[in-house]
């Protein structure tokens, strides 16, 4: 077993000791001793000691009711502190003889490799400068940590950095330790679990906080280093106007199944984004106005400020006043409809031009070293974030648009839109889109649901184009779904183009994605309304929930191939939008490998993907970590564009067809067809209790019903808590075993070696199987599941073992992740703290189900803390 880096181990030990001091101060040494017995019992039990397992069980059994919550909190907090130490370790100061991490080397090394393969310096610089990557931040309800705690965790990471110097005096070291002790005490004495669900506006503010505290610093630093790497390789610079990575958001715009996201909420979030952007730029401009006291200026700058003694300050103070006016207007607009004064900034050029003027003047006057400092950083932010901070997407289910049109056609005496076939719908929609008259009379009084759809469309029409991203249609399945939105937007007064994006989610819809887009592009008039690329969203969550990851992954790949072919034939640019989550069951996994495994031609300088739930914090919560992840995205999209992966061999495709067919059959045989499955799922996992966890603003269910009614996120979250991880692997065990039985192991090996798509799938499968734990899942069954349902649990755990055996057979290893001992050791260390939480959770679930608990009772709080702790320990929960 690999040893964890001594410095990381030391940080984890120190944070654990300081947490122990805090617990001791509140509860005394005897209670701290109980926690230590539980920890040691879990550690030795994991090594196979029966005495350790007995010690762990006995120590937990002896806890009083009033000790359950503090014990759950202790292990939860330790796992959060371990996460902080691990995150900091990734970005810690490196000695002269230590290699740079892969994330820092990835772009310079790629540029050298591409140059060696014959790409010209000009072509590389041009392609890098025009990359169009958009990361869409979403507030899916798996971020279990409260914002106030996240801020304390960030402060703890900053103190780990402060003490990471060998030359600190003993007084300085003591000062850092004292700060760490105080921060850990603050975190301990702060409730982990929100008392009430966040509103969609709260979620949007959480997203803005990630920008303010991390990305605002990370983006200019990341671009500075990308510019340096490009210059070192090619001698060329990144253009000032280049923004290869931008950000969008669904927070406050995603109304699919969330009645809390209304037109009023969307308007408020758009205004808050403008307020926050103006406020952030004001801080930058205040600093620049203080620093740029130079007197020499070029004629262009002089023409704007006259014979001012300090021309740069004069121009920046003008911009400062306009930013103040913009911020004040946004503040007032949150409470009414104030008049827009001419001073309010409306177009990004109004922000950029003064900055560019100062930058050019400094360079012209021999002060380039000054221009390339904070002024360049501010310019880079202005190009990346603009006046609107993030572009807000709007998302709504296709059925809501159809229902609105059904009400409208019925009111107009035209019949029922809902009953028309696709041809009739298209004929009606095209005629209305071409018509110059309004569809609706002024006195039309819609139902509440239709009124909300129309109000949302009016907000879209009223908002500045640059503040909005795409209008995404969930559960799209036909061209009429796209035209329906275009007609509703036209009716609301939208007179500019907006990307209307079908989201193909189920297996059947993915298979039809290519034909649907081809039909759409061939409709008369559609191409005239299509400005820019045809965007199509590929759903990972619902396709995996519908068919299992084996069949879903292959359906997503084939859908992309078909879409690339259709758009190429139609001579239309394609932009694929990937709806990925944090877990393997929802398309998660390392982004770099995932991008490089996409079909050839599908990443052609453009890439759009969701960043979901708690993964936003893990990937972008600290500026240096954010920088590393931005590097990975940039390098992967550049490589996939210029060096796409090979087209799969016919034999690989045929085998993948067989794997997918076997996978979906095995998956649905359990999830859809086993008569006891839904009841087993409800009893064996905390699925019902998760609905009470105040994580996100939207409900856990779309509607009443069984598994099909559940959202993909709580569906996966529940299985993660019990460590069965079922949605991420179910179906693979049958598919791979059948292939091995057919004697196809050599072909599987070829696919794994030469086909990035297949290799990435197997790597992600191996990772999730290494985190899965049948023995833990069995504990949930023993405590929570009635005896008649337990045979199903045994069968599922047997299938889990088969999946592991099949992966080991394919990879030729004796142990999962044998090739990555550091990861194995990290999982092993976490298990010492996770095992007590799992045991506690089973007991808490049993007690909770036996009695009616108030939401704020200690038992209920302890249960929710155990959920949060397991989520923190496993990291990718939803």
Rounded (10°) CA dihedral 581, 582, 585, 591 = 80
Contact between residue 259 and residue 456 where contact means Cβ atoms under 8 Å apart: no
From 140, 205, 401, 838, active-site residue: 140
Which has the closest alpha carbon to 588: 713, 741, 688, 420? Answer: 713
Q: 657 is written with which tokens?
A: 């067809």
Hey, CA dihedral for 357, 362, 363, 368, is it positive or negative? negative
Rounded (10°) CA dihedral 666, 671, 677, 682 = 140
Contact between residue 840 and residue 72 where contact means Cβ atoms under 8 Å apart: yes
Hey, CA dihedral for 75, 78, 84, 85, is it positive or negative? negative
Which has the closest alpha carbon to 401: 249, 256, 248? Answer: 256
- Interhelix angle 398-411/479-491, rounded to 10 degrees, is 60
Q: How far apart are CA 270 and CA 391, in angstroms?
A: 9
Report which secondary-structure segment, H or E, holds 606.
strand 606-612
Contact between residue 878 and residue 717 where contact means Cβ atoms under 8 Å apart: yes
Helix runs in 47-199, H state only:
50-61, 65-91, 102-116, 121-129, 147-162, 170-188
Residue with tokens 């990630």: 210
734 is catalytic: no
Which has the closest alpha carbon to 111: 244, 245, 226, 211? Answer: 226
205 is catalytic: no
Q: How far apart are CA 575 and CA 132, in angstroms?
A: 10
Q: How far apart are CA 723 and CA 874, in angstroms?
A: 9
Residue with tokens 């719908």: 425
Report which secondary-structure segment, H or E, holds 642.
helix 623-642
From 34, 152, 490, 545, active-site residue: 545
Report which secondary-structure segment, H or E, holds 609.
strand 606-612
> Looking at the annotation, which residues are catalytic?
140, 545
């Amino acid at each position: 077993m690999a040893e964890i880096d001594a410095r990381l181990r030391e940080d984890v030990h120190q944070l654990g000791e300081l947490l122990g001091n805090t617990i001791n101060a509140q509860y005394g040494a005897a209670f701290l001793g109980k926690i230590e017995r539980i920890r040691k019992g879990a550690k030795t039990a994991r090594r196979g000691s029966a005495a350790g397992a007995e010690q762990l069980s006995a120590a937990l059994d002896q806890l009083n009711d009033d000790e359950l919550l503090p014990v759950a909190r202790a292990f939860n907090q330790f796992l959060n502190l371990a996460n902080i130490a691990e995150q900091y370790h990734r970005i810690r100061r490196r000695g002269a003889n230590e290699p740079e991490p892969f994330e820092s080397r990835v772009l310079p090394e790629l540029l050298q490799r591409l140059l060696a393969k014959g790409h010209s310096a000009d072509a590389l610089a041009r392609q890098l400068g025009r990359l169009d990557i958009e990361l869409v931040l979403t507030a899916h309800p798996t971020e279990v940590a409260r914002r106030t705690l996240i801020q304390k965790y960030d402060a703890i990471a900053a103190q780990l950095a402060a003490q990471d110097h060998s030359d600190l005096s003993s007084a300085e070291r003591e000062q850092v330790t004292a700060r760490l002790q105080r921060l850990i005490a603050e975190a301990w004495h702060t409730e982990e679990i929100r008392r009430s669900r966040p509103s969609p506006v709260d979620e949007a503010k959480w997203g803005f906080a990630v920008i303010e505290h991390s990305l605002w610093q990370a983006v200019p630093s990341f671009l500075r280093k990308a510019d340096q790497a490009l210059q070192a390789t090619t001698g060329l610079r990144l253009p000032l106007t280049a923004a290869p990575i931008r950000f969008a958001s669904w927070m406050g715009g995603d109304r699919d199944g969330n009645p809390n996201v209304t037109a009023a909420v969307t308007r408020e979030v758009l205004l808050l984004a403008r307020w926050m952007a103006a406020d952030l730029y004001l801080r930058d401009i205040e600093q620049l106005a203080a620093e740029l006291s130079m007197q020499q200026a070029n004629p262009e700058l002089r023409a704007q400020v006259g014979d001012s003694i300090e021309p740069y300050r004069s121009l920046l103070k003008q911009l400062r006043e306009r930013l103040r006016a913009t911020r004040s207007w946004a503040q007032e607009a949150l409470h009414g409809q104030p008049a827009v004064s001419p001073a309010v900034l409306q177009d990004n050029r109004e922000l950029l031009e003064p900055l560019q003027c100062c930058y050019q003047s400094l360079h012209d006057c021999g002060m380039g070293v000054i221009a390339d400092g904070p002024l360049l950083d501010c310019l880079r932010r202005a190009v990346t974030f603009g006046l609107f901070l993030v572009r807000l997407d709007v998302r709504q289910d296709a059925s809501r648009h159809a229902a609105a049109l059904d009400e409208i056609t019925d009111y107009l005496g035209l019949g029922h839109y809902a009953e028309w076939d696709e041809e009739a719908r298209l004929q009606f929609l095209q005629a209305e889109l071409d018509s110059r008259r309004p569809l609706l009379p002024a006195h039309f009084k819609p139902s509440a649901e239709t009124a909300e759809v129309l109000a949302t469309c009016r907000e879209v029409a009223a908002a500045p184009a640059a503040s909005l991203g795409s209008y995404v249609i969930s559960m799209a399945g036909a061209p009429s779904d796209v035209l329906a939105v275009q007609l509703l937007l036209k009716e609301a007064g939208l007179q500019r183009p907006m990307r209307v994006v079908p989201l193909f989610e189920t297996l059947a819809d993915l298979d039809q994605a290519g034909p649907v887009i081809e039909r759409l592009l061939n409709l008369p008039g559609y191409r005239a309304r299509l400005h820019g690329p045809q965007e199509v969203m590929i759903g990972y969550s619902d396709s995996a929930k519908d068919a299992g990851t084996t069949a879903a992954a292959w359906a997503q790949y084939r859908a992309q191939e078909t879409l690339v072919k259709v758009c190429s034939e139609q001579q239309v640019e394609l932009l694929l939008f990937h709806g990925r989550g944090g877990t393997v069951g929802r398309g998660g996994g390392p982004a770099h490998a995932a991008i490089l495994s996409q079909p050839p031609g599908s990443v052609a300088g453009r890439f759009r993907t969701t960043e979901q739930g708690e993964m936003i914090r893990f990937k972008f919560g600290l500026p240096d970590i954010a920088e590393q992840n931005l590097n990975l995205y940039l390098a992967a999209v550049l490589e996939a564009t210029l060096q796409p992966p090979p087209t799969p061999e016919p034999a690989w495709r045929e085998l993948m067809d067989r794997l997918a067919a076997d996978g979906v059959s095995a998956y649905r045989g359990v999830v859809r067809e086993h008569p006891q499955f839904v009841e087993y799922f409800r009893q064996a996992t905390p699925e019902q209790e998760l609905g009470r966890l105040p994580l996100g603003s939207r409900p856990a269910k779309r509607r009443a019903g069984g598994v099909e009614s559940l959202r993909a996120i709580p569906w996966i979250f529940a299985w993660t808590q019990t460590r069965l991880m079922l949605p991420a692997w179910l179906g693979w065990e049958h598919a791979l075993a059948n292939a091995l039985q057919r004697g196809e192991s050599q072909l599987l090996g070829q696919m794994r070696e030469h086909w990035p798509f297949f290799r990435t799938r197997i790597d992600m499968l191996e990772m999730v199987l290494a985190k899965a734990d049948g023995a833990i899942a069995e504990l949930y069954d023993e405590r929570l599941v009635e005896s008649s349902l337990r045979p199903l649990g045994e069968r599922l755990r047997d299938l889990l073992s088969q999946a592991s055996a099949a992966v080991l057979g394919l990879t030729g290893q004796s142990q999962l992740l044998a090739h990555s001992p550091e990861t194995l050791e990290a999982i092993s260390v976490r298990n010492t703290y996770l095992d007590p939480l799992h045991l506690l959770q089973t007991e808490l679930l049993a007690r909770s189900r036996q009695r009616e608990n108030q939401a704020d009772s200690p038992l209920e709080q302890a249960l929710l803390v155990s959920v949060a702790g397991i989520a923190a320990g496993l990291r990718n929960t939803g």
